[in-house]
Amino acid sequence: MDSIKELKKILKQEKPKRIFLVTNKNSYKTSGAKTAIDSLLNEYEVIHFQEFEINPKLPDIERGIEIFKKNKCDLVIAIGGGSSIDIAKSINLFASNIDTPTEYLQKTKNIEKKGSILIVIPTTSGSGSEATTFAVIYSEKIKASIDHKFLLPDYAIIDPQFTFSLPKYITACTGMDALSQGIESYWCVNSTEESKKYAKKAIKLAINNLSLTTNNPTKESRVAMSKAANLAGKAINITRTTAPHAISYPITAYFNIPHGHAVGLTLPQILIYNSETTEEDTLDKRGADYVKKTIKEIVNLIGAESVEDASNKIKDLMIEIGLKRKLSDLGIKSDEDIDLIIKRGFNPSRVNNNPRRLTKESLLKLLIEIK
């Protein structure tokens, strides 16, 4: 708590001439961040960028780059949830390199330069973007992430007080994202001892605190979820995410379901699906037995007695925190809707991180189950 005081020390050390401040229009004030931070910025020239939508859009980023360059900013502060942080990370990186964002996203050009000093201050407990080297960008409703070591923030100030006023639904969505990241990182084909250490802690914290934090939050539960989100971010920074995240992106882009809610929709089913892997369809080089052992460890972390019990616990948790579980309840009803999710949800870099090969036929069956 009160770690925001570190911002004054950091600014004194970095001596910026012009700060590029990225915040959401509403949450900057409602989170209490504005009250705590404005006074710390009084002695600096600040360019405030807040004209952007949630779920970072390429045109918003391009407009931010233009403002950033025009004002010759030399330090970036991002305050908010995953969208604000990802927008700031992207603008900062692209503004320091000479080619267009599209060329970097399409990987026709290489990123050569690191951006300016970047300070991130989360006001939600979910995205973990303060701990990762990637940022989500949507271009024409298609997720086109950028992943580069230069995107890792120079400073991350985690002050749970800015999450205390989060609305119930945002608390639920961001918390579900943190839980999903922890679980996906734990079973990911890229998992390591280090990533599993972070993921294990994140899963336990989220399972034990998400319902309380959503329905009857305490200072302690808010702090716990802030820790869970940061740990989950550290875990996926090593491993990246897997099938539930891949499937979630078109659900968010085309049907406006918040990211964490969209991820949680398929998590219970994918847990069971991965537990049934065989040597023939296991993508993890450590083998099917290793994957099955990993799933059992996840079941234990969730506090369940079997895979089915663990899956049901996640479903029950979603109901407890007010997240609808059926696609039809979220306006996703037609066969065309399902086809669109399948068509746009097969991001190879995400699906191939899953421990069990996910086919379009398997995904169709899974989506029908939750329709």
- Mean pLDDT taken over the chain: 95
Q: Pick the more confident residue, 217 or 101.
A: 217
174 and 304 assigned to the same domain: yes
Checking DSSP bridges between strand 18-23 and strand 134-135, what pairing results, if any?
unpaired
Residue 348: pLDDT band with limits 50, 70, 90: confident
SS3 annotation, the chain? CCHHHHHHHHHHHHCCCEEEEEECCCHHHHCCHHHHHHHHHCCCEEEEECCCCCCCEHHHHHHHHHHHHHCCCCEEEEEECHHHHHHHHHHHHHHCCCCCHHHHHCCCCCCCCCCCEEEEEECCCCCCHHHCCEECCEECCEECCEECHHHCCCEECCCHHHHCCCCHHHHHHHHHHHHHHHHHHHHCCCCCHHHHHHHHHHHHHHHHHHHHHHHCCCHHHHHHHHHHHHHHHHHHHHHCCCHHHHHHHHHHHHHCCCHHHHHHHHHHHHHHHHHCCCCCCECCCCCHHHHHHHHHHHHHHHCCCCHHHHHHHHHHHHHHCCCCCCHHHHCCCCHHHHHHHHHHCCCHHHHCCCCECCCHHHHHHHHHHCC
Quick one: average pLDDT of 233-252? 96
118 and 248 assigned to the same domain: no
Whether 358 shows a pLDDT value over 70: the answer reads: yes
Instruction: Answer with the one of 137, 162, 187 that is the final residue of a domain.
Output: 162
Quick one: average pLDDT of 42-54? 93
Say if CB 268 and CB 176 are below 8 A apart: no
Residue 2: φ, ψ to 5° = 60, 20
Whether 196 shows a pLDDT value over 70: the answer reads: yes
Quick one: average pLDDT of 142-162? 93
Residue 141: φ, ψ to 5° = 70, 5
Indicate if the alpha-carbon torsion angle 149, 183, 145, 210 is positive or negative: negative
Domain count, the chain: 2
Residues contacting 220, CB < 8 A, separation 6+: none
Residues contacting 101, CB < 8 A, separation 6+: 58, 61, 62, 65, 90, 94, 137
46 and 140 assigned to the same domain: yes
13 and 33 assigned to the same domain: yes
322 and 179 assigned to the same domain: yes
Residue 325: pLDDT band with limits 50, 70, 90: very high
Say if CB 160 and CB 226 are below 8 A apart: yes
Question: In this structure, what CATH number is given to the domain that contains residue 341?
Answer: 1.20.1090.10
Question: In this structure, what CATH number is given to the domain that contains residue 94?
Answer: 3.40.50.1970
Instruction: Answer with the one of 147, 162, 177 that is the final residue of a domain.
Output: 162
Q: Pick the more confident residue, 110 or 78.
A: 78
Quick one: average pLDDT of 305-322? 98
Q: Would you state the structure tokens that stand for residue 118, as one six-digit string?
A: 């970047």
pLDDT value for 234:
98
Hunting for tokens 């539960």 — which residue is that? 221
Instruction: Answer with the one of 162, 186, 201 that is the final residue of a domain.
Output: 162
pLDDT value for 14:
97
pLDDT value for 1:
64
14 and 109 assigned to the same domain: yes
136 and 179 assigned to the same domain: no
Least confident of 27-31, 51-55, 119-123, 325-329: 51-55
pTM metric for this prediction = 0.94
Least confident of 9-23, 131-145, 163-177: 131-145
Indicate if the alpha-carbon torsion angle 119, 121, 127, 128 is positive or negative: positive
150 and 58 assigned to the same domain: yes
143 and 73 assigned to the same domain: yes
144 and 176 assigned to the same domain: no
Quick one: average pLDDT of 297-304? 98
Measure the CA–CA gap between 111 and 103, rounded to whole angstroms. Answer: 10
Residue 334: pLDDT band with limits 50, 70, 90: very high
pLDDT digits (tens, 9 = 90+) for 250-265: 999 999 999 999 999 9
Structural domain span for residue 110: 3-162
Q: Tell me how far the alpha carbon of residue 101 is from its chain's centroid.
A: 21
63 and 212 assigned to the same domain: no
Checking DSSP bridges between strand 146-147 and strand 134-135, what pairing results, if any?
antiparallel
124 and 185 assigned to the same domain: no
